[in-house]
Structure 1
Amino acid sequence: MNAKQMKSLALAYMGDAIYEVYVREYLLNSGQVKPHLLHQQAVRFVSAKGQATVLLHWLDSELLDEDERKIVARGRNAKSGSIPKNSSVQTYRYSTAFEALLGYHYLDKNEDRLHELMQAAVTFIEEGKKRDE
């Protein structure tokens, strides 16, 4: 399977699942065990707004290389055919691009870079939470 040739929405489909598992494991490792609280905390990480904010930060800070930027552009421009319920179309597209990038690295077996990006996402969201408090 060549991840670079896969459709962006297929990459995003996988990236969504991988990021969700990563966030759940991260929250459990932080000592949280109450299901309702776990869900509330997870939403901060996996929401379209949270993912889009992380991706825009990465683009601004030049964390992504040229190949990653191409994957992001493809993911952002993908036509999903669905209408976002809780976010703007632009936020939804950047969220899809975020997921496509993670899905690409997972399917291409770039485990070190995938972990690095997911950790960077979680760290950025946690720092934002601290700033907001």
Structure 2
Amino acid sequence: MDEFFNTIREQEAPQNWKAQQCSPIALAFLGDTVFDLYLRTKLVLTSRVSANAMHLKASSYAKAASQARMMHAIEERLTPEEHGIYRRGRNAKPLSVPKNAKLSDYKVATGFEAVLGYLFLEGRDQRLTEIIEAAIASMDRKE
């Protein structure tokens, strides 16, 4: 799978391009998908339950309130660079707010997703995995 994503990053990124040049909303857009793909893959590989049960579990982690809790739990682990990306995402003007989310949770979740999108685009897959696993573990401890 790494080769697949590396091919996309290498072929599509303009020369001298940096992920920091992306808008925080664009980073969050990608980070949302990265988190969802990681979580769904993990559920398929480790769960022996129905697809509906996996969907419900994935949805419980993907909602803004859950992502905000995860971000607060792992925020101290972020590097200064990652924290800057988080802050940019959190402070970005949202295009819309889901009807079932508080604005404060939505903004923190956007920051969380921006960090994930940034790490993905930078090809820092090991760090991306560390952040996602720490976030998931923080939720598992609270359940």
Shift of 1:128: 1.2
Aligned-pair CA distance for 1:90 = 0.5
What amino acid is the match of 1:83? V
Equivalences, count: 127
Structure 2: where are the runs of 5+ without partners?
1-16
Q: Which portions of structure 1, spanning 4 or more consecutive aligned residues, are displaced by more than 4 angstroms?
A: none
Match of 2:101 in 1: 87
Please say which of residues 120-129 and 104-113 is displaced more in the overlay.
120-129
- Structure 2 length normalisation: TM-score? 0.85
Q: Given that residues 105 and 111 in structure 1 are in contact (C-alpha distance below 8 angstroms), is that contact kept between their aligned partners in structure 2? A: yes
1:83 is displaced (CA, Å) by 2.5
1:38 aligned residue: 54
Residues 13, 100 of structure 1: 8 Å contact kept = yes
More displaced stretch, 45-54 vs 80-89: 80-89
Q: Determine if contact 1:44/1:125 at 8 Å carries over to the other structure.
A: no
Which one is further off, 97-106 or 35-44?
35-44
Q: Is the counterpart of residue 72 in structure 1 residue 86 in structure 2?
A: yes
Stretches of structure 1 that go unaligned for 5 or more consecutive residues are: none
Aligned to 1:48, which of 51, 64, 68?
64
Work out the CA distance in 1 between the residues paired with 2:44 and 2:29: 23
TM-score of the two chains, using structure 1 as the length reference: 0.91
SS of 1:85 mapped into structure 2 = coil
